[in-house]
Structure formats: C-alpha cells, structure tokens
Amino acid sequence: MLLSKSCVYGIRAVLYLSVNDEREYVPIKEISDKMGISFHFLTKILQVLTNAGMIKSMKGAKGGVGLNQKASSISLYDVIRELDGETLFEECVLGLPGCADDNPCSMHKIWRVTKAELKKELEEENFGSLAKQITEDEIRLYDI
Amino acid sequence: MLLSKSCVYGIRAVLYLSVNDEREYVPIKEISDKMGISFHFLTKILQVLTNAGMIKSMKGAKGGVGLNQKASSISLYDVIRELDGETLFEECVLGLPGCADDNPCSMHKIWRVTKAELKKELEEENFGSLAKQITEDEIRLYDI
DNA sequence: ATGATAAAAGACTCTTATGTCTTAATATAA
DNA sequence: TTATATTAAGACATAAGAGTCTTTTATCAT
C-alpha cells in the first residue's frame, strides 16, 4: 500500500474543500457523509492538517473546516508529508540504515529514480488544478 | 511504506539464497542469524515462497531451504507478488473502485505512469544479477 | 532403532492502524 | 442566557501486521 487510509481520506477531504473553495467553512459531517468516511476518524485526520496550518477550523454553528491557503498553493505532497511523513521518499525500501548512492542496497537503483519522479509529480500537482478537473468532470472525487 | 516487512525479509532471504546458489539447502536459522531477523517469522514467510514453488525445502539434518529455480529466472516482482500481492500495482491509490483511464481519480494520472515504470523495472531485475552485484561488492545485503 | 537437526503448523502475544464513542469547549442564534 | 451546532480531545474497541513460542513431522547420522 502506497498511502495509508488516513492519508487517502485526508487527500479526498482537501479535494472536497478545494472544490468548495467559495465556502469559508464546511462542516466535517458534510464531508464524511458525502464521502462515506467515519466522521470521528476524519475529524482526527483533519485536526492534523489544521495544526499544520493547511486548513483552518471554527467551532460552533456555522463552523467547520476550510482551506487556510489557496488551493493552488497546496500540493499532493504537502498533504502526504503531513499525514504519512516522508519515509516513503527518504528511507531505504529494504530498511537498511545508511542506504545511499555510494552504499546502495539491492533495490536502491530501481526505487531511487522512481521515487524521485513520483515525488516531483506529487509536488507539482496542486489542489487548485485538481479541483478544476473535478468541477469540469474530468476526474472524480467520489466512489461513483 | 512501499513494501511490507514480510516482503522485505522475503526479498533479502531470496537474495541470500541466490548468493549461496551452490548450496542445495541453507538452514533458515543461518539466514535469520546473519540478517538479524526473527527465525520463526522468517520461517513463515519462506513457507509462502515454498508453497509458491519459488524455493524448495527439506526437513531434518542437512535440510533447509534453497532456490527451486535459477536465480536469474526469479524477478523482484515475483517475490513481491507472492508476499504483498499485486494491489500496489492494480488498485486505485485513492481506493475508489472502478478507477480506470476513462474514469480516473485525482491521483490516477500521476500513479499510472509511475507504477507502470516501477513494475517494469521490478520485473526486469532478477536475483541472478543482484547476487552477482552483491558478490562483486557493488551492492550490499546486510545492515553494515 | 535412536538421537539430533531442521522445517511445518498452529497457538499465542505485542504493536500499530483503523475506527467508535463520550465528554468538553466554543461559536452562533433565538 | 439558553439551546443548538460544531470542532477538540481523549478513552476505548477492533483488525491487521509483526513477532514469539511450542509441538509435530521428516530427514540424516550413528
């Protein structure tokens, strides 16, 4: 599994907020209902993103969560880094400490290039662009 | 995490057997000792590869496990497929059912290319070649 | 035959990820 | 100021992955 469930849910929630960019706050309940995700679980995931300053939150009636930055300034990599950390892109696939170009493990050569490309693409893909594609029905956000 | 621990241990054990290709059977205890892996855990992992016909095993004194095919005919992908399955290469990263080129999710475009490249490299890299590189000290097998 | 060696099988434990539930805190609206 | 809506916080539950231990089975050497 490339990404944890928390991370996948986080990405999909930020996508939802990006598509609903004009609303300052969206209740988490609305997101969890629409996406079929556990409300309390999603709440905890979004708290991480709130603490990271990526989204903002407001308690009480008319409260909810909303983007704290422009959607176009948040990359897929930003969300992945907050929720899954950077081990996928930093650590040796075979778990050997000190794995490096001058001291490679058996999978080093293969994964070194692939992970660099993947990281670059994830850094370049932003939620503004993704939201636009969702709105224009080119890609989908739900399980439909 | 790209690969499970079971899978990583399995890859490293098959590497060990590939380097020790001239020995028909190597005791699992020897492998687990050298690699610092739990003996019983490794035993269970290697049973999977034995049942898959990738390695062979023999009980009793002089017994152990050994390659059941030429090292050069076993790919990294073969071992990964047996131990982690193909979900990494088949399923949608965002867990949306029915994700396909004509019905893509938000990460589809990025991961589609990357995973195809990764799969190709893993299929092309065989244990004969890796064992040769280990023997020639170009890559390492241990945590040293 | 008997004892030693080593894999096979399965029960069991520990840890982490995932998911649920309850209570507290805070903001809005009447 | 009271009721309602909503996030925050944390306890609790469940499931899966990781790891340990014991018993059984098979092979070899004496």
- CATH (domain of B74): 1.10.10.10
For A54-96, strand residue ranges (E) read: 55-58, 64-67
Asked if the structure places residue A144 within a domain, the reply is no
> Taking Cα atoms as reference points, which of B92, B34, B26 lies closest to residue B63?
B26
Min Cα separation A90/chain B (Å): 11
Asked if the structure places residue A142 within a domain, the reply is no
- CA contacts within 13 A on the Cβ side of A80: 22
Has residue B6 got a pLDDT over 80?
A: yes
- Residue B139 pLDDT grade (very low, low, confident, very high; cuts 50, 70, 90): confident
Query: How would you classify the pairing of strands B55-58 and B64-67?
Result: antiparallel
The residue lying closest to nucleotide D6, measuring its CA against C1', is A60
Tokens 């994964």, residue located: A111
Domain that holds residue A72: 5-135
- To the nearest whole number, what is the mean pLDDT of chain B? 93
* Tokens read off for B69: 């095919």
Q: How many domains does chain A have?
A: 1
Asked if the structure places residue B140 within a domain, the reply is no
B70 CA to C24 C1' distance (Å): 64
Asked if the structure places residue B143 within a domain, the reply is no
- Residue B72 pLDDT grade (very low, low, confident, very high; cuts 50, 70, 90): very high
pLDDT, tens digit, for every residue of B14-61?
A: 999 999 999 999 999 999 999 999 999 999 999 999 999 999 999 999
Distance of CA A143 to the CA centre of its chain: 17
- Say what the pLDDT of residue A144 is: 61
Asked if the structure places residue B102 within a domain, the reply is yes
Tell me the chain B residues in contact with residue A143 when contact means C-beta distances shorter than 8 Å.
96-97
Asked if the structure places residue B141 within a domain, the reply is no
Asked if the structure places residue B64 within a domain, the reply is yes
Asked if the structure places residue A115 within a domain, the reply is yes
Tell me the chain A residues in contact with residue B118 when contact means C-beta distances shorter than 8 Å.
110-111, 114
Has residue A70 got a pLDDT over 90?
A: yes
> Taking Cα atoms as reference points, which of B94, B71, B28, B113 lies closest to residue A16?
B94
